[in-house]
Amino acid sequence: MKRFIFKNWFLALIPLVLIPLYANLFGIKLPQLPVYFNITTSLPIGFYTAIPSFGYRNGDIVAYHEPENIIFGQEHNWLPNTIAPDDIVLLKHIALPGTPFFIGEDGSFCVDGQYIGQVIMTTKDGTVLPHLPPGPYVVPEGKFLPYSRDALSYDGRNTGLVDMDRIVHRVVPLFTR
- CA-closest candidate to residue 31, choices 166, 169, 167: 169
Q: What is the pLDDT of residues 36-58, one digit of tens each?
A: 888 888 899 999 989 887 889 99
Q: Is 167 contained in some domain?
A: yes
Domain range for 101 is 33-176
CATH number of 108's domain: 2.10.109.10
pLDDT score recorded for residue 87: 79
pLDDT score recorded for residue 110: 95
pLDDT score recorded for residue 28: 76
Mean pLDDT of 134-157: 92
Q: Is 92 contained in some domain?
A: yes
Q: Is 54 contained in some domain?
A: yes
Q: Is 16 contained in some domain?
A: no
Q: Is 11 contained in some domain?
A: no
- CA-closest candidate to residue 132, choices 142, 111, 113: 111
Q: Is 78 contained in some domain?
A: yes
Q: Is 172 contained in some domain?
A: yes
In this prediction the pTM is: 0.79
pLDDT score recorded for residue 108: 93
- Between β-strands 162-163 and 143-147, what pairing exists: parallel, antiparallel or unpaired? antiparallel
Q: Is 139 contained in some domain?
A: yes
When divided into structural domains, the chain yields a total of 1
Residues 96, 144: Cα–Cα separation, whole Å: 5
Q: What is the pLDDT of residues 1-39, one digit of tens each?
A: 555 555 555 565 666 666 667 777 777 776 677 888 888
